[in-house]
A = this chain, B = another copy of it.
Amino acid sequence: MTELRFEPIGIIHTPFKTTAEAPIQPRYSGGRAGTVEIYSRFEEGLADLDGFSHVILIYHLHLSEGFALKVKPYMDDRLRGVFATRAPRRPNPLGLSVVRLDKIEKNILYVTNVDMVDGTPLLDIKPYVPEFDKAEKIEIGWLKDKIKKGSEK
């Protein structure tokens, strides 16, 4: 078994104190604002990021304990393979969200459409680039008939 070690580069601050309060995805956050605090020793790495309107945050789903290979997603009432869901109880509890970047002041990113719990450890920031990250001719499997439910949360 290969074990990989990572270290948080910052912390995500949001209005959501518990997982129950947090929206299931950025799209359903109702435009809620948050901040991403980058630890000062990594601040230099934020140069040139302010020209991007959106960033991808990769973070540790730190409240998730253990994992299951079949989970019942919020949007469904039956068990699904965990890799066919965004559920947090994954073998590697990595979270991924596309958020809008409103401004950067020193080591603080002001972002909109947050869906993480307050205090979430940040692992990486990448610029969102449609040429890289946007797919076409898309099918979304079991989620197809469920996707509206999330918007009602």
A residues in contact (CB < 8 Å) with B: 1-9, 25-27, 38, 42, 44-56, 58, 60, 69-70, 79-86, 90-92, 94, 96, 98, 100, 121, 123-135, 137-144, 147, 150
Say yes or no: A48-B141 contact (C-beta < 8 A), given A42-B91, A96-B96.
Answer: yes
Per assembly, the copies of the chain total 2
Chain B residues with CB under 8 Å of A5's CB are 3-6
| Cβ-neighbour of A140 out of B46, B130, B150 (below 8 A) | B130
Q: Secondary structure at chain A's binding surface: helix, strand, loop or mixed?
A: mixed
Closest to A79 in B: B47
Given known A4-B8, A5-B4, contact A53–B135 (CB-CB < 8 A): yes
